[in-house]
Amino acid sequence: MSMVSLDGIQVAAVGYDAAAEVSGVTYGPVGSPVIGSGSLVRTVAGAAKAQSWSVGARVLSETVVRSQTGRVTRVQATDSAAAVNAVDWSYSFDAVGRLTSAVLAAVGTRPVVTLGYGYVGVGGCGADPAAGNGSRTSTTRQVGGGTVAVSAYCTDGASRLTGVASGTGGLTVDPATIVYDGHGNATQVGSQSWSYDGADRVTGT
């Protein structure tokens, strides 16, 4: 497919690279594109690693850095119309591929934001002190040089979340607001709820 039209008027034109993969899409009628998505760059394995969007003279760009195993380790986004809109996230993982940190770089008046994720194997809170068989057991959040907010995630013997506690201003979830149905599906966590059909598929939130 190289073009999409409606009532005989072009809506989008699709471009392809030598490997027959989409390299860009231009939206709008011929001669007066409204929004263009071009410069879609891929890795040797075919994963997208860079892309840009144009809205008139404004260009929004995003680049992704991946590790040798394909994990995303950095994401950068820029806006030609406003440098303060730039986003630069860096990600770290442990030896088994679990996310351990996410850092949003400072830009303009926005301070650096550092998020951490823990997976301790012993001493977890809740009914399962073995920390949920490798599940996330804690998170941290720090904005600039401010106080580090720590939250502990408690699990039961089935590795299900049973509560989130914090004494430092982090996320908290009252155990009384965490509910599971007879199939083990979470039907409520805090103020969020889910419903399921007979095949345990989510039908509403």
CA distance 29 to 136: 49
| Cβ 74 vs Cβ 89: under 8 Å | yes
Phi and psi at 112, nearest 5°, equal -65, 140
Give the residue from 74, 92, 143 showing the smallest Cα distance to 113.
143
Phi and psi at 175, nearest 5°, equal -55, -30
pLDDT(42) > 70: yes
| Cβ 53 vs Cβ 36: under 8 Å | yes
pLDDT band at residue 53 using 50, 70 and 90 as cut-offs: confident
pLDDT band at residue 27 using 50, 70 and 90 as cut-offs: confident
Higher pLDDT, 110 or 128: 110
CA distance 18 to 9: 27
Q: Which of 1-10, 29-38, 75-84 has the highest mean pLDDT?
A: 75-84
Model pLDDT for residues 89-102, shown as the tens digit of each residue: 999 999 999 999 99
| Cβ 76 vs Cβ 62: under 8 Å | yes
| Cβ 23 vs Cβ 14: under 8 Å | no
- Tokens 């144009």: give the residue: 54
Q: What is the mean pLDDT of the chain?
A: 90
